[in-house]
Amino acid sequence: MEQDTESYIFDILHEKQPVEIKVFTMTWNMGNSEAQGLDKALKREKEAVDPSYDLFVIGLQESTYAEANSVDPAACYSSLASAIATTLGPSYYEVKHTIRAQLQLFVFAKVEFQHPTARITNVHQSIENTGFLHIFPNKGGILVSLEVDGTKLAFVSCHLTAHEVLYSA
């Protein structure tokens, strides 16, 4: 059955058009040291964060260190989250912060993606341990998936075994 011209034009006018999204991605193996230079990395050596980015995605590995003489990793996680939020400023909000042992994955978006209607939906996380016996979380990966205006995106941060040797069966 053919569609009449009026309903065809209506469908075209109300069809979702692709929206450009500019994403800043960064990964950093911190070597269990303080995050010195994090603000410079996010600002790309400039005075301020580039406001043309819609999303900031930051993956960290070996991201636990002694924070203010505390042995509690939560103090470190909180310090890093605060440092990132402060550097990005009030124009960005935290969409998701996923932690697994020494791995962290942050997703921040412009506040205008929150209001007047939520443009980011279906935010999910997945975590896979690949350490000893696939149980220990010292190695592995974190995934955050989400939709922006109906476009599906996924971000992965991983910390894998170094110098793995390939064997033939």
Establish if 86 belongs to a structural domain: yes
Written as six digits, the tokens of 47 are: 């005075």
Establish if 77 belongs to a structural domain: yes
Establish if 10 belongs to a structural domain: no
Which pLDDT belongs to residue 16?
61
How many domains are there within the chain? 1
CATH number at residue 105: 3.60.10.10
Rounded CA separation 141/156 (Å): 7
Written as six digits, the tokens of 112 are: 């205008």
Could you list the residue range(s) of the whole structural domain that residue 140 is in?
Answer: 20-159
Establish if 113 belongs to a structural domain: yes
Establish if 9 belongs to a structural domain: no
Residue 15 CB neighbours (<10 A) = 7
Mean pLDDT by 10 residues, the chain (169 residues): 62 65 89 78 81 93 69 75 91 92 91 87 88 73 92 90 63
Establish if 4 belongs to a structural domain: no
Rounded CA separation 150/50 (Å): 25
Which pLDDT belongs to residue 28?
85
| Tens digit of each residue's pLDDT (9 = 90 or more) over 3-27 | 666 766 666 556 666 678 999 999 8
Strand order in the sheet with 55-61: 23-29, 55-61, 103-110, 92-100
